[in-house]
Amino acid sequence: MSCKRQAYRRLRPGQMAKTNRKYTIMKGYSWLRGTLDTCQWGRWVWNVQNVTKYSFICWLMMQGKLLTKDKLTNRGISSDGLCVLCGNAPESIEHLSYECHFFKLCINEVLQLLKISITNYEGRHLWKRIGRKMGSKFRKEFSYAILVALSYHIWRGRNEALWKCVVPRPSKICAQIKKECKVRVMEIINKIKRDKDRRWIEEVYS
């Protein structure tokens, strides 16, 4: 028996399988890229029921890339750093996301639409707290779509207040969100197998 065959016979089964694996570009790229941290907020930012442009603005918000007044002030572009929606605190992504009084008025309207109650609005994990209240996967996805639309419209309302000096009413924003999300959810409502979820969405839009 040759030395090569003897060495091959001494390999354990796991080692034999390892020697038979073929190299692929995907495996090489995965090894070169290394281990990446999981992005939990991607589940609601890139939710299937979201409007794409809303998801993009929300993605910029979660990445801290929106040009709020605190960033403009640091760059010497703006001298006024107050929030144009409430006028009570410096404008930042964190402020617009969960601290602003205008946001709290809007989120109250949204929670009434979803028929749930939450007292703690602070932090970037609001979507998790709302998701736990919703129950089924379909309801969670719908609530995420509502939250992403809210983030978009708050940013849009901020821009309108900045450039047009007009602050939109929270009730108007909520009505617009409800209308826009209805178009999206009606595209997939026929695929819903659970009658309970179907009746629930009909109650929301009744």
Angstrom CA distances, 155 to 17, 26, 129, 149, 202, stand at: 54, 39, 22, 10, 29
Question: What pLDDT was estimated at residue 23?
Answer: 81
Closest of 56, 147, 51 to residue 97, by C-alpha: 147
pLDDT in tens, 11-45: 455 444 454 568 888 888 888 877 766 777 888 89
Question: What pLDDT was estimated at residue 126?
Answer: 85
**Nearest 5°: phi and psi at 82?**
-75, 150
Who wins on pLDDT, 39 or 84? 84
For 153, residues 6+ apart whose C-beta sits below 8 A from its C-beta are: 106, 168, 173, 176, 177
Task: Please give the Cα distance from 54 to 147 (Å, whole number).
Answer: 10
Question: What pLDDT was estimated at residue 39?
Answer: 76
- What are the residue boundaries of the structural domains of the chain, listed by start? 41-205
Average pLDDT of span 87-112: 91
Q: How many DSSP H helices and E strands does the chain contain?
A: 12, 0
